[in-house]
A and B are shown apart, each in its own frame.
Chain A
Amino acid sequence: MSIFSSWRKWNRLLHRDLGYIAFGLTVIYAVSGFAVNHIADWNPNFNIENISGTFSPDLIPADASDSAIAAILLPQIGETEPLTSSFRPSPEEIQLFVDGNTISANLVTGEIDQKKVQKRWFLHVFNYLHLNHAKEMWTYVADIYAVVLVFLAISGLFMIKGPKGILGRGAWLTALGILLPLIFIFLYY
């Protein structure tokens, strides 16, 4: 076996096995990349529902404690989760925190707003990894993945010989792939 064919054999073998390993990570990075690319249009991590309503301020006694106010207001809005904590931004306002919901009420006007927050489970986890919020060891996993991607890109160029390989049609398609970002750099940078 010549050195050249041996090199090709190892190139194919590594491209294949590293490609298998990179599959899961590539899906995570691609899906998350799509989600965060549109961050101006939506929240890629949480589903947020804002609900506004009213209640009768007469229901609240003047000297009621936060927990007493919560005991009156939470059933009014159909909230069944227990109160975890509360905050008074001003004498007239109260914020009630329950798991997954923040209730802001104005005790004078009777306005009540709910902000229900739910994690977009898969996207939240994918974004957590993609944007490296995990830090620590994940930083090195992501670094290795980046190196593997570069290897897959380069080794992919030499997978096929002949007119459809890098010396034929492959050259044109590769040039197109390089030209595309260059056009945008020229236009916008």
Chain B
Amino acid sequence: MKKFILMTLSVMFIFSVQVQAQKKYGKEITLKDKTKISSILEKPAEFVGKKVLVEGLIVNVCENRGCWMELAGDKPYTKIKIKVKDGEIVFPMTEKGKKALVEGEVYKITWTKEERMEAAKEEAEENGTKPDFTGLTDSTWYQIKGLGAKINE
């Protein structure tokens, strides 16, 4: 009985080490060709509804639920948000500053000024900062619904 328990624990330990080394999130990545983030940001409407594979540095991660992260673009001062369904994928905060490869679908969001103010308020509460309402107007932007990701260790 003792031998059986020790063998089971050994197999589980080896399996757990393998799992940790992979750092995969969500579904398997199926696309092979990467799309530059700058290409999406320059002509986002052309990518809406399309599946893309993007690569970039993780510059921000949702603090509470790990339900989004932002990837730096390939051109200066640009970034794009990767949003995942709550609980399906969780990006740990400790992954900031690492490179990620993400597959997902580009989609469009349209918000009124009031909706943006509410979101800014919630985000500030999450981050423990003061909400910044400057320059908020009705707006449309694009982000990626993340389906699968690989993060370099």
**A residues within 8 Å of B by Cβ?**
39, 43, 45-46, 48, 50, 84-85, 87-91, 95, 97-98, 100, 102, 117, 119, 131, 133-134, 136-137
Contact = CB atoms under 8 A, between A and B. Distances in A.
10 contacts: A43-B64, A46-B92, A46-B93, A85-B98, A87-B59, A88-B76, A88-B77, A91-B77, A97-B96, A133-B90
Given A43-B64, A84-B97, A97-B96, A137 B15 contact: yes
Given A43-B63, A131-B87, A136 B19 contact: yes
Contacts of A131: 87, 90
Contacts of A46: 63, 92-94
Contacts of B77: 88-91
A90 B15 CA distance: 43
Given A89-B77, A90-B77, A137-B15, A45 B92 contact: yes
Interface in B89-111: 90, 92-94, 96-99
Interface of B: 15, 19, 57, 59, 63-66, 72, 76-77, 79, 87, 90, 92-94, 96-99, 128-129
A117 B128 contact: no
Main secondary structure on chain B at its contact with chain A? Answer: loop
A98 B90 contact: no
Nearest to A128: B90
Nearest to B20: A134
